[in-house]
Amino acid sequence: MKSFKILTFGCQMNEHDSEKLAGLLKAEGYRESERLEDAGLVLLNTCSIREKAEQKFYSALGKLRELKEQNPSMKIAVSGCIAQQEGNSVLKRAPFVDVLFGNQNIGRLPYLLEETGGQASGRRAATEFPEGYEHASIPASRGNAVTSFVNIMYGCDNFCTYCVVPFVRGRERSRKPGDIIREIEELVKSGCREVTLLGQNVNSYGIITPPSPSYIKRGTEGALLGNINERYCDFPSLLQMINAIDGLLRIRFVTSHPKDLSDSLIDAMANLPKVCNAIHLPLQSASDGVLGRMNRKYTFEDYMNRLGALKDAVPGLAVSTDIIAGFPGETDDDFRTTLRALEDIRYDGIFAFKYSRRPMTAAQRLPGHLPENVKDERLYKVLEVQDRIMREKIGARVGLVEEALVEGPDKSGARGRLTGKTTQGKIVNFDGPPELVGRLVQVKIIEGKKHSLAGKII
Ligand code: SAH
Ligand code: SF4
Ligand code: F3S
């Protein structure tokens, strides 16, 4: 029997694309292998956001080459953002790769595999960027039944100067509200209780690039956006429609761009009961000079005003963020401003990165690139400050009663132990019977750890 294994790098968008790739392969009669060594097809779904992500891919690829030397019938496929960015040059550099395809060619995987026919001469690359082509209708093979990712839009038009995403994911395209609602209704029928809506900038949902028939090719027919006359709505209205779906208990979304955090989104978060009390609102830097050169289109004051309004409207809101340390030209003063902002805002979670120079982006040509050791030091300081804040904040939750959605058995495998998430998005583990999976329970927090809470059902 044909078998596959997918290794996923990068963001939730990629994780969800991998679920679709698994769905496609299963529909073609492939079975998922536990072990890499046993898989007839190994697919690397790649990320190119930072140099480190790219290094991880090339080291995984090196290991696969060794496996393939022992087992020449193994096929290797490469997809995702490095495939999109590098195209044929990956095939040149790694001649043992059989198939390579970009982010908008996912639907063609079965055809590409068929075309290679297992012969070295049949190596194929497909990285065209057909406008309007999507893969939303591919049935995803999802990991967890209770909580699911749902794409609401693709691509990004913001062109932050450090970021490759607009180049590897293309222009912003929104899915039709009717398609999104239908997908969620189907998910709810099969036990889903929480959705995480995915887009690089969900707040600007509703802008559509219509599909062009000239791009219909073999293998993409069923995957085109359907009737383009259906009316679009904005993100708060979409949330309202999803909130009305019977049986669904919770709604989350990533990512929100601070410049597009509108009053109507704040109202929606405050008034729609299923929308969770959590937002990921990337700040990147608190220095206006740096924000300007990043092309973020807000000042620190703008950010604080929007965040303040949101916090006032949504009591108990958890806020997380992304920070880039050592952007070109960042002075000690700029950096101290960011550290002060972290102390003032006291985020519930951050993802901090040191600036990484990326191909195609505008920032690579900016003056004032900083030495690695300066970037390392600054990143270390950000993490140090945030570590302390997190410990204080998590400690303060002990003794509180929180509502948790039960997602399944605890990952540790301990008998009778369940895992769930609070509305703020914190993992919480507690004892309970398996019948509670998919239900909301009240949990008293008894211990706060670095990445999770321990609780007791009351
Ligand atoms: N669309 C989302 C996610 C973008 S990528 C958003 O706008 O928030 C996730 C994070 O990676 C970014 O927020 C940024 O903090 C970081 N990032 C992107 N490019 C980077 C680069 N070249 N170097 C370091 N960090 C980067
Ligand atoms: Fe990248 Fe900026 Fe778009 Fe986010 S909003 S994906 S950081 S360009
Ligand atoms: Fe990486 Fe592509 Fe996501 S570059 S962060 S996998 S959009």
pLDDT in tens, 57-105: 999 999 999 999 999 999 999 999 999 999 888 988 899 999 999 888 8
pLDDT higher for 379 or 111?
379
* Residues 374/375/381/387 CA torsion (nearest 10 deg): -160
How many CB atoms neighbour CB 129 within 10 A? 17
**CA–CA gap between residue 229 and residue 337 (Å, rounded):** 48
Which numbered atom of ligand 1 lies nearest the CA of 357? 22
CATH class of the region 3-126: alpha beta
- What value does the mean pLDDT take over residues 40-56? 96
Which of 172, 322, 327 for a ligand 1 pocket mutation test, highest count of atoms within 8 Å of Cβ? 322
**pLDDT of res. 231:** 57
CB of 10 closer than 6 A to ligand 3?
A: yes
Across 344-371, b (16+ Cβ under 10 Å) vs e yields: ebebbbbebbbbbebeebebeebeeebe
Domain 278-396 listed as CATH 3.30.360.10: no
Residue 230: per-residue pLDDT:
52
Chain CA centroid to CA 118, Å: 32
CATH 3.30.750.210 residue ranges in the chain?
Answer: 142-276
What's the pLDDT band for 428 if we cut at 50, 70, 90?
very high
| Range 401-457 has CATH code 2.40.50 | yes
Tens-digit pLDDT profile for residues 329-348: 999 999 999 999 999 999 99
Q: Does position 212 have pLDDT exceeding 50, yes or no?
A: no
The pLDDT value recorded for residue 213 is: 42
**Pairwise pLDDT comparison (204 vs 131), residue with the higher score:** 204
Confidence of residue 125 (pLDDT cuts 50, 70, 90): low
What ranges make up the beta strands (E) of 326-395? 349-354
Question: What is the rounded CA–CA span in Å between residue 301 and residue 64?
Answer: 49
Contact 102, 127 (CB under 8 A): yes
Instruction: For a ligand 2 pocket test, name from 160, 172, 253, 290 the mutation site with the most ligand atoms within 8 angstroms of its C-beta.
Output: 160
Confidence of residue 133 (pLDDT cuts 50, 70, 90): low
The C-alpha atoms of residue 144 and residue 421 are separated, in whole angstroms, by: 13
Q: What are phi and psi of 372, to 5 degrees?
A: -55, -40
Higher-scoring residue by pLDDT: 410, 455: 455
The pLDDT value given to residue 223 = 39
Q: How many CB atoms lie within 10 A of CB 31?
A: 12
Q: Describe the crossing of helices 263-271 and 300-313 by its angle, rounded to 10 degrees.
A: 30
pLDDT for position 129: 60
Work out the pLDDT band at 209, boundaries 50, 70, 90: very low
Pocket flag, ligand 3, residue 169 (CB < 6 Å): yes
Average pLDDT for 235-259: 96
Any idea which fold 142-276 has?
Answer: Transcription Regulator spoIIAA (3.30.750)
**CB within 8 Å of 50: residues ≥ 6 apart:** 353, 356, 358
Could you give the 3-state DSSP secondary structure of residue 107? helix
List where CATH 3.30.750.200 sits in the chain: 278-396
Distance from the alpha carbon of residue 156 to the mean position of ligand 2, in angstroms: 6
**Residues 169-174, mean pLDDT to the nearest whole number:** 87
Nearest atom in ligand 1 to 323's CA: 15
Q: Is the peptide bond before 331 cis (omega within 30 degrees of 0)?
A: no
* Residue among 82, 73, 244, 271 nearest 165 (CA): 82
What number of other Cβ atoms are within 10 A of residue 118's Cβ? 11
260: pLDDT strictly greater than 80: yes
Left (φ > 0), alpha (ψ -120 to 50) or beta: where does 416 sit?
Answer: left
* Sign of the four-CA dihedral 111, 80, 182, 406: positive
User: Confidence band (pLDDT; 50, 70, 90) for 359?
Assistant: very high
Cα–ligand 1 centroid distance for 272 (angstroms): 29
The whole-number pLDDT of residue 211 equals: 43
Q: What is the pLDDT of residue 88?
A: 86
Cα–Cα distance list, 425 to 142, 276, 347, 397 (Å): 20, 8, 13, 13
Residue extent(s) of CATH 3.40.50.12160 domains in the chain: 3-126
Residue 136 pLDDT level (bands cut at 50, 70, 90): low
Which secondary structure element, helix H or strand E, spans residue 85, and what is its range?
helix 80-86
The top-scoring range by mean pLDDT among 86-100, 140-154, 380-394 is 380-394
- pLDDT score recorded for residue 227: 41
Residues within 6 Å of ligand 1 by CB: 49-50, 162-163, 165, 200-201, 255, 257, 282, 284, 322, 324, 353, 355-356, 358
Task: Give percent above pLDDT 70 in the chain.
Answer: 90
- Is the per-residue pLDDT at 215 higher than 70? no
Mean pLDDT (the chain) is 90
pLDDT at 117: 59
Calpha distance 248→228 (Å, rounded): 27
Locate 163 and state its tokens. Answer: 């970021």
| Phi, psi (deg, nearest 5) at residue 311 | -65, -35
Q: What is the DSSP letter of 326?
A: S
| 3-class DSSP assignment, residue 96 | coil
Give the pLDDT band (50/70/90) at residue 170. confident
User: Phi and psi of 416, rounded to 5°?
Assistant: 75, 10
User: What is the per-residue pLDDT for 412?
Assistant: 80
**Integer angstrom CA distances of residue 6 from 54, 148, 323:** 17, 18, 29
Q: What is the pLDDT of residue 123?
A: 61
Sequence-distant (≥ 6) Cβ neighbours of residue 111 within 8 angstroms: 218, 219
In this predicted structure, what is the pLDDT of residue 196? 97
Q: Which atom of ligand 1 is nearest to the CA of 280?
A: 8
